[in-house]
Amino acid sequence: MKTAKPQEYAKAVKAASPPSPVVKDCIWAFLVGGFICTVGQILVNLYQNLGLELPQARTAVSVSLILISATLTTLGWYDDLSKHAGAGMLVPITGFANSMVSPAMEFKSEGFITGLGSKLFTVSGPVLVFGVTSSVIYGLIIYLFHII
């Protein structure tokens, strides 16, 4: 079996990969991300008008965006929307919610416990574990060395 030279391999990869419209993708991601932020601000104003203080309104917005994203994922619409929106839809909190719900929906046919329940934290589990662990270590360092 003949091994391809690095130059030949790079040439084959370039020929098989279509060029990415980077500028268009960046503009589209900016617009979609900005739209999500605008929706978030509209929700903050709505929740404040309903009587919530600013910190509680912000929490309610986070919960609302997570719920909307999880619902869109459950209905199978999130992936279709994110194909066009790109990073504008995947980077904010909506993308994190999608990363939690997607594996669970993929394995829901295996049952509530072994499918949905066990796959819910497949992607986000490590993020949560390392996030909590690093925050505990950070807190201990601050406490032990009286930094603050």
The answer to whether position 67 is within a domain reads: yes
48 part of a folded domain:
yes
Per-residue pLDDT of the chain (148 residues; tens, 9 = 90+): 566 677 888 888 788 888 888 898 889 889 998 999 999 999 999 999 999 999 999 999 999 999 999 899 889 898 888 888 888 888 778 888 887 787 777 776 776 676 666 666 676 677 778 888 999 999 999 999 987 6
pLDDT digits (tens, 9 = 90+) for 13-56: 788 888 888 898 889 889 998 999 999 999 999 999 999 999 99
In a domain, 127, yes or no: no
How many structural domains does the chain have?
Answer: 1
Examine residue 136 and state whether it is found in any structural domain, yes or no.
no
List Cα–Cα distances, 23 to 13, 79, 81, 139, in angstroms. 22, 22, 19, 41
Residue partners of 110: CB distance under 8 A and separation at least 6: 116
Q: Is residue 130 part of a domain?
A: no
